[in-house]
Structure 1
Amino acid sequence: MSRKEKNWWIVAGVLIVIYALFPVAWIVSLSFKAPSDLANGQFLPTDPVSANYEGIFTGAGGDLFLPALRNSFGICLIATLISCILAMFAAYAIARLDFPGKKFILGTALAVAIFPVISIVTPLFNLWRNIGLYDTWPGLIIPYLSLTLPISIWTMSAFFREIPWEMEQAAQVDGATTWQAFRKVIVPLAAPGVFTTAIIAFFIAWNDFIYGISLTSTSASRPVPAALGLFSGASQFEDPTGVIAAAAVIVTIPVVVLVLLFQRRIVAGLTNGAVKG
């Protein structure tokens, strides 16, 4: 590229970064603003305060936020683990075995992934109330699998297709069973893809709001996105914008930490799944 083209690409990249990070910076700024400072129209707080962060960890805010944070970590980790295990076997079968209906299964998984969640919340709410899963961890883990499992199958099947079939055959020639070849050869080679899939599945479950607000009613299993919608001010005339912004910042930190710590594995997994040959 010419020097002029490079400069245009640099300018475009900077604009995209600013566009992506501006909402995050705005939320961080709101989290340090006092209630009287929220409507002044300024980007930065006039007098930064930490009362919003103190409010989500103490008093009524702590009783609402801390159990929700625990629930989100537990439910999302369990849903991600189950989703990755099931998707690993399903993706291996789709990539390695030739059987009727393989494309139909992938198409069905894609259809489930794009199916509007709001359309099934009401019947699921009634069903969960009847069988005793309403406001429980399993009552959220099972619906979360419908969000994470389809994308996990699609992502992992791409990685398994890139692994040479001859490596598994060589392990079987050396005396390994099919299960041993899968566990000791295929899974380690597909580890970047599995790890990338796990991160994506965790993010999808972590960000869900509709299931969390519809299928829970107490702090026993309510996740963080649903809890954020229940924050209130000190009085009915006070807007809890600053407290919600502080909670949003705290909730975003685990996601940012995961990406920063494992960005090389994520990039390696995505590129391995995208390159053919």
Structure 2
Amino acid sequence: MKLGMRSKKNIEKTFLYIFVVVIFIYFVFPFWWAIRSSFTSNTFLFTKDFSLLPPEWTFDHYIGVFREHNFLRNILNSIIVAGSTTLFSLVLGSFAGYAVARLKIPGKVLIMGSILAVSMFPQVSILGGLYQLLRSMGLIDTYPGLIIPYTAITLPLTTWILQNFFRDLPKSVEESAYIDGCNKFQTLYKIVIPLSIPAIVTTGLLTFIQAWNEFMFALTFVINPEMFTVPVAISMFTGASQYEQPWGQLMAASVIITVPLVLLVLIFQNKIVEGLTSGAIKG
């Protein structure tokens, strides 16, 4: 009987490992293929011979990305826009999330339902009206012209995640702060925020990635190539003729903008897991 149960567990464990390996390959292989293509010379880029490693290593595509395009400026634009969006979303989302989680607000359920409903709006449905609004304010081709819409589309997710975390914090900690003379605002930034670092890191990374990868608003609200963010800049890469696509440079640029995000996730993976699972188990 014990032998049969042990054999069954081994089979289940084997299938689990196989499933994990398949999922890992499914998600990692496209990124590895992009890296492989970025280091492959044009001579071997479109050959039918399959190989996991470049037949001939070259850095020409990476050099071309920076030599033939203003890619450093595009990266700086994305850092400014995504970084500012993350900062504003975290600040506003912290206040909103704490208010929803702790204050007695009439219609709290309706407020959170509205937040979720707004986050589900397709971007294309508000694109025209938002463009007219930004143009009338003189914000086309400016950083605020991207930061403000980005903050608006990322704020619902930020508020939702943070209010869930704030709601699960023990009230006794805040009550102790009130006894010591702290008001609501002091309690938030002296007590609640330091205790919520895992949730803030998780939310900040999700917000940063969403703003970093956003394409539709950046394509519509920016006309000057000097103000392009990296997704728009990459989409504008052209070859020697209108019928040629510089796939090597496209892959190199994709790797350049993806690697920092991967490194951030790996560095803060413990905080991310802690933030996503906070409140899942209560003792």
Aligned match of 1:214? 220
Aligned match of 1:182? 188
2:19 is matched by which residue type in structure 1?
A
1:264 is matched by which residue type in structure 2?
N
- Shift of the alpha carbon at 1:273? 4.2
Structure-2 change in CA distance of 1:275 and 1:152 (3 Å):
farther
- Shift of the alpha carbon at 1:91? 0.4
Q: Aligned residue pairs: how many?
A: 274
- Shift of the alpha carbon at 1:27? 0.9
Q: What's the % identity of the aligned pairs?
A: 42
Structure-2 change in CA distance of 1:4 and 1:79 (3 Å):
same
Aligned match of 2:13? 6
1:60-100 CA distance string (max 9 Å, x none) = 32x2x111100000110001000000000000011001221
1:23-66 CA distance string (max 9 Å, x none) = 101111111223332321334432222110000111x32x2x11
TM-score by length of 2: 0.92
Structure-2 change in CA distance of 1:74 and 1:154 (3 Å):
same
Aligned match of 2:112? 106
TM-score by length of 1: 0.94
1:226-248 CA distance string (max 9 Å, x none) = 11100011333432111011000
Aligned match of 1:56? 65
SS in 2 for 1:115: coil
Structure 1: which 5+ residue stretches go unaligned? Answer: none
- Shift of the alpha carbon at 1:179? 2.4
Structure-2 change in CA distance of 1:129 and 1:19 (3 Å):
same
1-side partners of 2:41 and 2:282: how far apart? Answer: 54
Aligned match of 2:43? 36
- Shift of the alpha carbon at 1:171? 1.5
2:12 is matched by which residue type in structure 1?
E
1-side partners of 2:83 and 2:185: how far apart? Answer: 26
1:255 is matched by which residue type in structure 2?
L
Structure 2: which 5+ residue stretches go unaligned? Answer: 1-7
Aligned match of 2:22? 15
2-side partners of 1:230 and 1:122: how far apart? Answer: 22
SS in 2 for 1:274: coil
1:56 is matched by which residue type in structure 2?
V
Q: Do structure 1's residue 235 and structure 2's residue 241 form an aligned pair?
A: yes
CA RMSD after TM alignment: 1.5
Structure 1 residue runs of 4+, over 6 Å off? none
